[in-house]
């Protein structure tokens, strides 16, 4: 019995050590962990543009280009981020750093297919809540971040992932997967998405916080493959609750005419809704153009 208890205690100790080492290693090898740790530790930064979103924005928004054209920028987007996650990141940044001039929020792919899971990304929760709560087996690091082990194993065996870099928060991958999909005629004119659904309150909370601080707030729809593009125009969004009383400008980069002009279906993509580095250059150029037009001062007609 004594030997059994010693053996069990040894196994338990080994399991605890492995979990501890796993948490130490992840920020060194995992993109989302490393950039989340970096952003969480920002202090006295003077960024002019903050970019938020999920993995589509992390791949697709080139903050180096934005920095060169508008001012210092950083891409806070992480894989699987909900709007609640983005709101928490934004609040944390404001606590320790100078207020930016502009906040850009990127919704995933076509807004027709965007559904917010209304939950915190576990990596954000780990860093921003400043603790790792363990209420059950599912909260143990090896289990809680098990998808990260799978993704990092893919990186280990995949040359395209091993060669990826993170610059100013943007994940850059040069690999190309051609878009051979066919345009879906039925989705082209479906522009009645409800931006007041559950989970979107965090978008409106970001807008309200920006208004309170005098920060410009813009929302973009990220592009995706032809089968998921639409004919929806840019629009003004109105909150039906009492969180935010003004309108929000939404720019739809997933508009089929814009995608046809900007993106080569053979060279711009990693997957159906993830841009490679080449695609990010094209899309970010359009984003910058929109921002510069919308923020230019109105010239007076008087002499």
Tell me how far apart the alpha carbons of residues 13 and 8 are, in angstroms, rounded to a whole number: 9
Within 10 Å of residue 138's Cβ, how many Cβ atoms?
9
Query: Residue written as tokens 């993109």?
Result: 31
Listed by start position, the domains of the chain span 31-125+166-293
Q: If we measure between CA atoms, which residue out of 191, 186, 261, 269 comes closest to residue 224?
A: 269
Kindly report the pTM of this predicted structure.
Answer: 0.81
Using alpha carbons, select from 294, 290, 293, 284 the residue that is nearest to residue 63.
284
pLDDT at 149: 53
172 forms beta bridges with 165
Q: What local confidence, expressed as pLDDT, does residue 157 receive?
A: 53
pLDDT at 117: 53
Whether 156 contacts 68, CB under 8 Å: no
Q: How far is residue 243's CA from residue 246's CA, in Å, rounded to a whole number?
A: 10
- Check: CB of residue 204 under 8 Å from CB of residue 241: yes
Mention the CATH class of domain 31-125+166-293.
alpha beta
The pLDDT score that the predictor gives to residue 90 is 96
**Of the candidates 152, 184, 159, which has an alpha carbon nearest to the alpha carbon of residue 26?**
152
Predicted pLDDT of residue 7? 47
**d(C-alpha 208, C-alpha 219), whole Å:** 13
Cβ contacts of residue 165 below 8 Å, gap of 6+? 171, 172
- Look up tokens 């490679």; give the residue: 276
Residue 223 per-residue DSSP state: P
Show pLDDT as tens, one digit a residue, over the chain (303 residues): 666 555 445 555 554 555 455 555 555 556 677 788 888 889 999 999 999 999 899 999 999 999 999 999 999 998 888 888 899 999 999 999 999 999 999 998 655 444 555 566 677 776 776 555 555 444 544 445 555 555 555 565 555 655 678 899 999 988 899 999 988 766 656 677 888 887 788 999 999 999 999 999 999 999 999 988 888 899 899 888 888 878 899 999 999 999 999 999 999 999 888 999 999 999 999 999 999 887 654 333 332
């Amino acid at each position: 019995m004594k030997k059994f208890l010693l053996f069990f205690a040894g196994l338990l100790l080994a399991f605890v050590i492995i979990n501890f080492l796993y948490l130490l290693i992840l920020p060194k090898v995992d993109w989302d962990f490393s950039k989340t740790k970096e952003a969480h530790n920002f202090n006295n930064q003077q960024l002019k543009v903050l970019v938020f979103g999920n993995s589509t924005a992390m791949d697709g928004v080139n903050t180096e280009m934005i920095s060169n054209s508008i001012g210092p920028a950083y891409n806070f987007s992480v894989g699987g981020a909900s709007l609640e996650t983005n709101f928490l990141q934004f609040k944390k940044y404001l606590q320790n750093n100078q207020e930016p001039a502009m906040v850009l929020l990127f919704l995933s792919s076509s807004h027709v297919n965007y559904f917010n899971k209304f939950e915190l990304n576990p990596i954000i929760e780990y860093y921003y809540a400043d603790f790792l709560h363990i209420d059950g087996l599912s909260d143990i690091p090896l289990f809680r971040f098990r998808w990260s082990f799978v993704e990092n194993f893919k990186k280990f065996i995949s040359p395209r992932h091993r060669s990826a870099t993170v610059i100013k928060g943007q994940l850059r991958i040069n690999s190309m997967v051609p878009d051979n999909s066919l345009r879906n005629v039925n989705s082209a004119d479906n522009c009645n998405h409800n931006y007041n659904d559950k989970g979107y309150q965090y978008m409106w909370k970001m807008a309200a916080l920006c208004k309170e601080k005098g920060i410009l707030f813009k929302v973009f729809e990220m592009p995706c493959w032809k089968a998921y593009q639409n004919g929806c125009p840019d629009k003004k969004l109105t909150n039906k609750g009492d969180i935010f009383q003004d309108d929000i400008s939404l720019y739809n980069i997933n508009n089929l005419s814009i995608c046809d002009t900007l993106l080569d279906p053979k060279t711009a993509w990693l997957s159906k809704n993830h841009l490679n580095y080449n695609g990010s250059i094209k899309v970010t150029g359009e984003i910058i153009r929109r921002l510069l037009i919308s923020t230019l001062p109105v010239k007076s007609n008087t002499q």
